[in-house]
Chains A and B, each alone.
Chain A
Amino acid sequence: MSDCIDLSAPEPVFQEPWHAQVFALTVSLNEGGRFSWADWVARFSQTLRRNGLSRELDGGADYFDAWLETLEAILAEAGNASPQEVALVRRDWEEAYLSTPHGDPVHLAG
């Protein structure tokens, strides 16, 4: 396990568009009163701790992987988005990408 703090890592605000999306989703749900920020932090830190037991987290992609995992769990428990629903809509998006010509905007059918 490395104890190095990597200061040279490139630092855009969000490394990938989906990091920004999942961050904004969470902030928006919090501001809409779906959960308190204290609850979010408690759940998110549990996920980080659990994931960090098996490997050293670098604060990059694995951080937002843990973020997404936490949000999915909260929404599933609240009945807002079950794993089955997420899997179905995820598949719809995948099919939409695979059937949209390169360069065209991708939309869900129906």
Chain B
Amino acid sequence: MPHDHSDHPHAVLPSDPALRVKALETILTRKGLIDPAALDEIIDTYQNKIGPQNGARVVARAWADPDFKAALLADADPVLAELGYYGRQGEHMVVVENTAQQHNMVVCTLCSCYPWPLLGIPPGWYKSDAYRARAVREPRKVLADFGVTLPSETAVRVWDSTAEVRYLVLPMRPEGSDGLDADALAALVSRDSMIGTALASKPLGGGDPS
């Protein structure tokens, strides 16, 4: 409810769920089960430090460095840990590569498991019933909603995330991206392209005009 008169005699009362969360935080702090400073650190991390830019860096490096890519696809955890990207919840990361033969798409039909260290907090649509149900049932139609049309010979494989295993899509390197440096390559990699609901962008200006 809008509730923002400037002539309020008292502080604006937060919503019911906000008050319940404050109550939980107070109770758990009093019992020594949590440290409010640790909560602030977690929020700062997920709000400001972790996001799709992490995943984009990994993708750009995989495009540029075949050995890195091979290691990443074979066993992502140690490769990512070396870059400082590891699952705080102990989950395993699996990177799946898009090719002309197979396009990969990630969903969590259970809830919203997601590769947090590489992509941050999932967008609203990833958590919606509509995406979670339809991604498995009719992935090509979902891709069409996102404006992605694949050649008919490209198979679509949908990966269902769990608490233990989170997937990251390695999109195909776009045409016209030869000779770009790591930052320029990473700029072509959107969050959605690493979930598999988009393709990597083509570089502006350069490359094949078709």
Contact = CB atoms under 8 A, between A and B. Distances in A.
Interface stretch (B20-28, B65-73, B151-159, B200-208): B20-28
Contacts of B129: 52, 56-59
B89 A21 contact: no
A21 B43 contact: yes
Contact of A71 (B22, B24, B35, B51): B24
A16 to B, nearest CB: 7
Interface residues of B, number: 58
Contact of A38 (B21, B42, B131, B164): B164
Contact of B127 (A14, A20, A30, A63): A63
Contact of A63 (B112, B120, B163): B112
Contact of A18 (B13, B18, B146): B18
B145 A7 contact: yes
B142 interface: yes
Query: Majority SS of interface residues in chain A?
Result: helix
B77 to A, nearest CB: 15
Contact of B13 (A68, A86, A98): A98
B125 A7 contact: yes
Contacts of A90: 19-20, 22-23
A48 B91 contact: no
B34 A37 contact: no
Contacts of B12: 97, 102
A63 B130 CA distance: 13
B174 to A, nearest CB: 21
Interface string A27-40: 11111101001101
A100 B20 contact: no
Given A13-B46, A85-B27, 14 more contacts: A7-B146, A9-B125, A24-B39, A24-B43, A29-B33, A32-B33, A41-B111, A57-B127, A57-B128, A60-B124, A68-B21, A86-B20, A97-B11, A101-B11
Interface of B: 8-15, 17-28, 31, 33-35, 38-40, 42-43, 46-47, 51, 88-91, 110-113, 120-121, 123-131, 134, 142, 145-146, 162-164
